[in-house]
Structure 1
């Protein structure tokens, strides 16, 4: 029997790390809103005085996220933006405590619409500029099936070149699981 409290999946690990960093009043970004689970998670963490910027390119993702937020009374904490995450710097003009990415496609949506290597890497670069010292960027890399292999390889290559004096970069993955289990990448800003 598996002990889920000891080893969580990549998404669970990202939430655990974010929970240790984000406090009420913080400003954060959900770079890939999807069905809204991370946006809701972040909205609860930042509290009434904080703010979440939530990005997605798909109208269905925006609607799914809005419904969850409204049902939980959290909509006032979130700025939803229907635009690509690579444009986050056009909307966010302040330093943020955390940025979360879940790569791939909208669960239950059109698999032909998903994150792509070029825009994802551009977005990660902008997230690294927006993050404050001691802030964290998490990226859960979903790949396999019908998409994501090229993006995974490009992101893994990109993170190797992040300046080690400015950022700690960690990658965790399950190496003995079948079917391309997601990979978690965390980037912590050490210095400005």
Structure 2
């Protein structure tokens, strides 16, 4: 994939993930989609690390599995055919990063989208599993039905996090439309 710099929420998320994740870490892709974020996480955590990748759509998991197998990274990823609201049922160990790419599966019908209810439940669980110095990245898409409501819910959740325990950033491109995707980054303050 040709780099376009930091053009968009996902490349900015990847910038932060590259800075934070190291070999041997554990991470979660809460919405694996076509597997781009999952592959990056798998490459960053290396052979000694582990990634859990969640999606409710079977075709997303198949695409992710193919992408990982092609890159030789499938052995360090657990593919989970479930919603991210079940994160803590599947992941029991602390993690260094949790990635959310909200909205819908690119290239698929837009009938299946993330929702405020499941995303907020997953965020609560992610925050509890997050190691000091770990991050949660949320690429927030508001240009589809329900997207703006979910975006407001995510921002309200993040704003309510204890400032002594978390740092929260909202990153928007100043020269893009107000409905362009943006990034929310939550850092658990290092101890």
Q: Distance in 2 between matches of 1:165 and 1:29?
A: 24
Q: Equivalences for 1:176-187 in 2 at 5 Å?
A: 176-178=175-177, 180-187=179-186
Contact 2:55/2:84 (8 A) holds in 1: yes
Contact 2:115/2:146 (8 A) holds in 1: no
Unaligned runs of 5+ in 2: none
**Are positions 1:69 and 2:68 aligned together?**
yes
Q: Equivalences for 1:53-132 in 2 at 5 Å?
A: 53-132=52-131
1:95 is displaced (CA, Å) by 0.4
Q: Distance in 1 between matches of 2:90 and 2:4?
A: 38
1:109 is displaced (CA, Å) by 1.1
SS in 2 for 1:99: strand
Q: Distance in 1 between matches of 2:144 and 2:87?
A: 29
Compute the TM-score of the two structures, normalised by the length of structure 2: 0.94
1:27 alignment partner in structure 2: 26
2:134 alignment partner in structure 1: 135
Compute the TM-score of the two structures, normalised by the length of structure 1: 0.93
1:163 alignment partner in structure 2: 162
1:41 alignment partner in structure 2: 40
| RMSD of aligned Cα (Å) | 1.6
Aligned residue pairs, count: 189
SS in 2 for 1:171: strand
SS in 1 for 2:78: strand
What whole-Å deviation, never above 9, does each CA across 1:121-166 have from its counterpart, x for those lacking one? 1111110000100111100101214441211111112211111110
Please identify runs of 4+ aligned residues in structure 1 that moved more than 3 A. none
SS in 2 for 1:52: strand
Q: Distance in 1 between matches of 2:157 and 2:70?
A: 38
Q: Distance in 2 between matches of 1:184 and 1:34?
A: 17
